[in-house]
Structures are given as C-alpha cells and as structure tokens.
Chains A and B, each alone.
Chain A
Amino acid sequence: MTDPILVENLEKTFGRTKALDGVSFRVSAGSFMGFFGPNGAGKTTTIKALMNLIPHNRGSAQVLGVSSNRLGRAEFRRIGYVSENQDMPLWMTLGQLIQYCRPMYPTWDDGLCESLRETFKLPLNQKLKGFSRGMRMKAALLTSLAYHPEVVVLDEPFSGLDPLSRDQFVEGLMELSGDKSFTLLLSTHDVGEIERLCDAVTFIDHGRVDVSESTDSLLSRFRRVVVQQKAELKCTKLFSTWKAFRQNGERVEFVETQFDEIEALKNRLSHELPGSILKAVEPMSLREVIVQMSQMERGGK
C-alpha cells in the first residue's frame, strides 16, 4: 500500500526566495505525524503544495496516491484540511455552515457531527462572526472531521488557542479515531504540543527536512551523558555518535545520538575516555532532541 502522504524532493520558489529546497518525507497509513519547524521554515508552503492550493516547481507531492496537482473532488471528500487562517463564511450560523457542508460529503455522519459539537461546546444558532478565534478553529475542524476523512491535514491549528480549547481540539480529533483509522499531518512550531499526540515527527528548517523519524525511536536513541574525567580531554579522537561536547573542569557533558544499552555506552567510554567515571545518563525531551538535531545540522553545513 502506498503511503497516504508522500513528498519527494519538493521545491518551491517565490521570486528569488527558495521556500522549499528539496523537501522529502512520508506519512504511513494510520500514523500521526507532527510537522514542525520555526516560523518561515516552509511548513505552510509544503502543506499548501500538498493540498493543491499552490503549484510547486520540482519534485512530487502525493496524497492518497494522487499527485497533488491532480487532486479533485473525489479526493477532497476523503481529506480533512484546516488551516490557521481559514476563510469562513462569517455571516452563517454554525447550523447553516453544517447544512452547507453536509451535501458535499456522501460519508457525512450526523452522529459524529453532533458529538463533536458537544465536545467543542459550540452553539448552533450563533453567527460565526461572533465566534472567538478558538471557536472558529473548532467549527472548521468539526466540518472537516464529520465525514470521516482518511487523511487529516492541520496547519498550525493550536496557534492562538487557549489551553482548554487546545484540549477540546485534540479530544475532537481523537473522536474520529473510531473503527477506521486515519492519517494525520499536523504542523506546529511548538514541539511540546505533539510529543504525546504524534507517533512520528518531521522537522523542517530553511526549506529542508532535517529529521523525519518515529517519536519512539528519537526518544530512545538520544541521551544526555555526564562523565567525570581526570585527564586532558582530546576532543578530536572522540566517538562519532557523541555530539555537543561541553567541559567544565573535570565534568564532561555530551549527547549520545545512538544510545542503545548502558553496557555498550560504558564499553565505549572505557575505550574512548579511559579512567572516566559515568555520572549520569538522562533521557531528553522531544523538544531538547529537536533543538540538538537542528544545531547539529547547522553546525555540519
């Protein structure tokens, strides 16, 4: 089976600016992918190219096995897309918006729609104009989930939402994960939002993908290591998977990027830094791992 989202060497230029410089990643069926990077990294451009909202220059972007520039009605009935700055018919009430969207989707589920509305605590009879930003985002999500899309693409859904709304937003998303699984691509500039929700992460910066990997594997292989060391440290001879060295007197800190077992680390230590004492091996949060990786990328170039 092909991956529901497949991006290969995607390039996009705006005038002289290269917004996407060969972006590649894939989201496998049923996976929740967190797509993040700093503002201006190329997240929204990638997503717009994926959703056939802007043309790309080179490479390919596929959704549900169809090239993005050929996406049509049949595919959009199977895709739910919500973006941060979505245009909404503000003169409509939520009830009218629902009635407007409903006929476009053969798989529309009134039961799911109503249960999402309860989760989001949205009033049916109020005009969207009077909705807060958070309420509008939730209304947009409601009308994008009620037809059981197979692929859900959310562009910065959490920005400007208060914690309660964020929680409701995620709760609504999880209501969709019924008998049939769906594939999620969620962009955000805040890693903390997705450490638990997503099982995979793609990190983009300066129009390039630095990391695309499962969350479990990233969290398992990164460790902050603290070592006590008497002799002079010779940085040049050190092990290739050890990064970000810092030394303060006898105390040496580094990041092991391919951690496996503590015994293996001890063996490497006794080989690379004879006479050193292992003081601590600490797990790192996803946020710390990403910061570390982007620094490594920048340093390596």
Chain B
Amino acid sequence: MLPFSISFKPGIPPCDQLVDAVRKAVATGDLAHNTLFPSVRVLSRELKISPTTVHKAVSQLKQEGLLLGYPGVGMVVSARKATGLDHRLMLLQPFAETLAREARELNVSGEELMALVQRSLYASGEDGNEKHLAS
C-alpha cells in the first residue's frame, strides 16, 4: 500500500496527477519529513501506470525539492519547502480560481461567495475538531 492517496481522473495527464497528489500529501503531513518514498518500480506497480510516467513525476518532485535521492537508500521526503503557507496556498490556487469563475457565472457577488466560504469553513471546522478529539 502507498503512504499517500490518489484517485486518477480522466483528462489530466497521470504524471501531473501524481505530482499533485505527492505535493498535497507532503503539505498535509501524510508524507512526513525524512520518511522513505516508494521507488519508481513500486509506484508503477501499485498505481498501474507506466514506469516512464512515474519517472517523469519523480524527476519533477526532485527538482521541486520535495524528494531527495540518496544512492543506496532510495528517495526521502523533504517537507522543508512544502509546509510553508506560500506552498499550501499554491495548492489551493486552482480551487480558488474555479470557485471564482463559477461564482461569476452564477452571478454570485464576492460578498455572497465569501459568506458561503465562511459557512463551509465552519462546517468542515466542526468536522475537523471531532477528528482531533477522536485521535
């Protein structure tokens, strides 16, 4: 089993989806700093995607500094760059853009949209608290 979750959607290059899933898992802490990252071979087998695709995604993650390669050991997660607010906001950016576009299309004002976001935040916040208490 892989230490992070990913569910592939059609229409988006699998390589990009894998990169995004790892970015998110590092930012949320699902992939903790200094832990071992699965090899290209294991990822390819588990996800049933071509090793070439996995290789491409891993190279990009290395370039971004989220993975560090150690000869003889394998790849290790580096969370230094990924847990900062800037990085976490970057992960939310596409959702914010979609939300803004949909709101404009539906003729919802900025104020009304913010109120909706507030309510959603409140609802998910309660959820989060429960989870926190349970653990």
Tell me the A residues contacting B by CB distance below 8 Å: 30-32, 170-171, 174-175, 177-179, 181, 184, 192, 195-199, 215-216, 219-220, 279-280, 282-288
Contact = CB atoms under 8 A, between A and B. Distances in A.
A177 B51 contact: yes
Contacts, number: 63
- Which DSSP category, helix, strand, loop or mixed, fits chain B's interface? helix
**Looking at chain A's contact residues, is the secondary structure mostly helix, strand, loop, or mixed?**
mixed
A286 B49 CA distance: 15
Interface stretch (B5-13, B70-78, B118-126): B5-13
Given A215-B13, A216-B56, A283-B11, 7 more contacts: A31-B50, A31-B52, A32-B50, A215-B14, A216-B14, A219-B11, A279-B105
B21 interface: no
A284 B48 contact: no
B53 interface: yes
Interface of B: 8, 10-16, 41, 44-45, 47-53, 56, 101, 105
29 contacts: A30-B51, A31-B52, A174-B44, A174-B45, A174-B48, A177-B41, A177-B44, A177-B45, A179-B41, A184-B50, A192-B10, A196-B47, A197-B48, A197-B49, A198-B50, A199-B49, A199-B53, A216-B14, A216-B16, A216-B56, A219-B12, A219-B13, A220-B13, A280-B101, A283-B11, A283-B12, A285-B10, A286-B11, A287-B10
A180 to B, nearest CB: 10
A181 B51 contact: yes
A284 B51 CA distance: 23
B13 A175 contact: no
Nearest to A279: B105
